[in-house]
Amino acid sequence: MENEKLNNALERFKQCNQKETSYSAFISSLTKMIDANVFYLKAICNNDPDVYYDRYFRTSKPVKAHTVVYIDFSIGFPKELRYGHWAYVYKVMNGKALVIPLVSIKNFRRKLREQELEIVVVNRGMLTPSMMRLDEMRWIDIQRIDLEKEVPERIQTPVEVIKEKVKEFLKL
C-alpha cells in the first residue's frame, strides 16, 4: 500500500519534471535510500524502531552531554556557521545531539551579545576562553562528530551556568 502511494507520487513528479536525466538520478538516489532504510529496519532490527535508533546511530566512543566535540556542519548559508567547528554538547538523544557551536574570542573589547555566552575550557592544561553561539544551536546526527579529533579535557564553566543561559535565551 505504501509502495503504491510512493510510486504514484513519483509518477506525478515525473510528469511535472521536464528533465528526464535529473528525474532518473533523483529516483535512483531516493530508491536506494528507501531500500536501505527498509532493509535495515526489517531485516536487522526486526521492525522495532527503538532497536533501529540504538543500533543505527552507534559511535565508537560515547557522546556525552557537557563535553566539547568537533563537528562537520557541512555547507550552510553564508551567515550560518559551517564546515568544521568545535561545539558544546548540550543533550544527546536517539542518535542526535543538541549542540551549541563554539567560536574563538577575537575581539575582547566588545560586549557579549544576548545570544553569546563566554565559557572556559581546559585544553592541554591551559584555561582557554571560548564563546558559545546560542543562536546557532541545532540538533545534529552524532555521525557528524569527528571522534578522531583531540578534544579539550573538560569545561571549566559550571553546567548550571550554561543551562541557565540557554533557558534565558530561549525564554523558557
Range of the domain at 99: 67-170
Q: Give pLDDT, residue 6.
A: 67
**From the centroid of its chain, how far is CA 143?**
8
Q: Tens digit of pLDDT for each residue in 86-106?
A: 899 999 887 788 999 988 777
Q: Give pLDDT, residue 21.
A: 54
Tell me, yes or no, whether 82 and 40 share the same domain: no
Q: Give pLDDT, residue 155.
A: 87
Q: Give just the sign of the alpha carbon dihedral 142, 2, 12, 37.
A: positive
Helices 20-39, 2-16: inter-axial angle, 10-degree rounding: 160
Q: pTM of the prediction?
A: 0.63
Q: Which of 53, 118, 108, 54 is nearest to 88 (CA)?
A: 118
Tell me, yes or no, whether 11 and 87 share the same domain: no
Q: Tens digit of pLDDT for each residue in 50-89?
A: 665 555 556 667 888 898 898 877 666 555 566 678 899 9
Tell me, yes or no, whether 96 and 12 share the same domain: no
Q: Tens digit of pLDDT for each residue in 94-145?
A: 778 899 998 877 766 667 788 888 888 888 888 888 889 888 898 988 888 8
C-alpha R_g of the chain: 21
Classify the phi-psi angles of 134: left when phi > 0, otherwise alpha if psi is within -120 to 50, otherwise beta.
alpha
For the residues of 30-87, what is the DSSP string, one character each? HHHHHHHHHHIIIIITTT-HHHHHHHHT--SS---SSEEEEEE--S--TTS--SEEEE
Q: Give pLDDT, residue 144.
A: 82
Q: How does residue 167 score in pLDDT terms, banded at 50, 70 and 90?
A: very high
Model confidence at 13: pLDDT above 70: no
Q: Give pLDDT, residue 105.
A: 77
Q: Give pLDDT, residue 91.
A: 92
Tell me whether residue 62 is in a domain: no
Tell me whether residue 86 is in a domain: yes
Find the CATH number of the domain harbouring 73: 2.30.30.110
Q: How does residue 25 score in pLDDT terms, banded at 50, 70 and 90?
A: low
Q: Give pLDDT, residue 94.
A: 77
**From the centroid of its chain, how far is CA 2?**
29
Tell me, yes or no, whether 76 and 145 share the same domain: yes
Q: Give pLDDT, residue 79.
A: 56
